[in-house]
Amino acid sequence: MNRSGMHKTRSLILRYVVLIVLGVIFAVPFLWMVSSSLKRGIDVFVFPPKWIPSPIMWSNYSELFKVLPFGRFFWNSSYVALLSTFGQVASCALAAYALSRPKFFGREAIFYILLATMMVPGQVTIIPRFLIMRSLGWLDTHLPLYVPHFFGGAFGTFMLRQFFLSLPRELDDAAAIDGCGRLRTFLTIYLPLSKPALATLSLFIFMDSWNDLLGPIIYLSTPKKMTLTVGLTFFQGQYATDWHLLMAGAVVSIIPTIIVYLLAQKHFVSGIMVGSVKG
């Protein structure tokens, strides 16, 4: 093996060592969650801690599904999250494109106002926002949870704008020479090149919508309209701390977001191909 080969192997080993150390640090809390979710309530805090539960309480999971209509909750969460994701990605991409390169009157103002909406601490707009939804007659429906997503969002717009700005400027010029209209440039050049960013944004919005606790609790009152995340909080009592059930619930609730993550991740990888085609 030549020198550069040795060097390569050594750096590969180094990378794996770093990855494994960091990976273990990141995974430990999660492993403990899974382990607690399979324990009896009184065993959760026993020490010295036991990583392998005994007895293994698979029934914690079935207990979760016994008490609440989880199928219904799952459906509510899914359709709200999917609609939110679609609406927000579409509206943010449009806005981000407009706010990236084209120069026009009012561009800065709109961008900074949009940004400013992110700076207001949400706690104090809860009540006014709630009143707006009430005047629209949307209380106790799923509308307040996903309709606003069809009207843009500061985070997504900002994120996609930054991404669009990192694409080569020559793309616009080339498109203009080809006689491409603005809409066609957006649809046929910007969007395909932005797959990694769009996938990332979809992932985030899906996750935020899926994990949203405050929205459903405030806007909904009929129990069967609740989402899975809210349903899981129904395992926390005032005095009783059903930690083992809570842990089981937490494990169940993250599975859909992991699936969405794995789906989105494929698109990050396909981004390499797209990246190499351009030029």
Site for other proteins in 85-104 (CB under 8 A): 91-92, 94-95, 97-99, 102, 104
Q: Are 201 and 156 in contact (CB under 8 A)?
A: yes
Residue span 4-23 as binding mask against other proteins, x where in contact by CB under 8 A, dash where not: -------xx--xx-xx--xx
Tell me how far apart the alpha carbons of residues 112 and 58 are, in angstroms, rounded to a whole number: 52
Shortest spacing between CB 123 and other proteins, in angstroms: 5
Shortest spacing between CB 1 and other proteins, in angstroms: 18
Q: Are 115 and 171 in contact (CB under 8 A)?
A: no
Among 1, 2, 3, 105, binds other proteins (CB under 8 A): 105
Residue 82 found at the interface with other proteins (CB under 8 A):
no
Stretch of 53-61, 78-86, 232-240 lying at the interface with other proteins (CB under 8 A) = 232-240
Amino acid occupying residue 91? S
Considering only residues 126 to 145 of the shown chain, the ones binding other proteins according to CB under 8 A are: 126-132, 134, 139
Shortest spacing between CB 178 and other proteins, in angstroms: 18
HEC assignment per residue over 196-231: HHHHHHHHHHHHHHHHCCHHHHHHCCCHHHCCHHHH
| Binding-residue total with other proteins (CB under 8 A) | 126
Say which residues have a Cβ less than 8 Å from residue 21's Cβ, sequence separation at least 6: none
Residue 109 found at the interface with other proteins (CB under 8 A):
no
Tokens representing 100 are 């990236």
Shortest spacing between CB 260 and other proteins, in angstroms: 9
Residue with tokens 């649809």: 187
Residue 116 found at the interface with other proteins (CB under 8 A):
yes
Scanning the chain, the segments in alpha helix (DSSP H) are: 3-36, 59-67, 70-100, 107-117, 126-135, 143-146, 154-165, 170-177, 182-185, 191-193, 195-211, 214-219, 228-233, 243-277
- Secondary structure class of 96 (helix, strand, coil): helix
Give me the DSSP letters along 5-27. HHHHHHHHHHHHHHHHHHHHHHH
Considering only residues 244 to 263 of the shown chain, the ones binding other proteins according to CB under 8 A are: 246-247, 249-250, 253-254, 257-258, 261-262
Residue span 25-64 as binding mask against other proteins, x where in contact by CB under 8 A, dash where not: xxxxxx-xx--x---xxx-xxxxxx---------------
Residue 165 found at the interface with other proteins (CB under 8 A):
yes
Considering only residues 167 to 226 of the shown chain, the ones binding other proteins according to CB under 8 A are: 167-169, 182, 186, 193, 196-197, 199-200, 203-204, 207, 211, 213-214, 217-218, 221, 223
Residue 117 found at the interface with other proteins (CB under 8 A):
yes
Among 155, 202, 209, 212, binds other proteins (CB under 8 A): 155
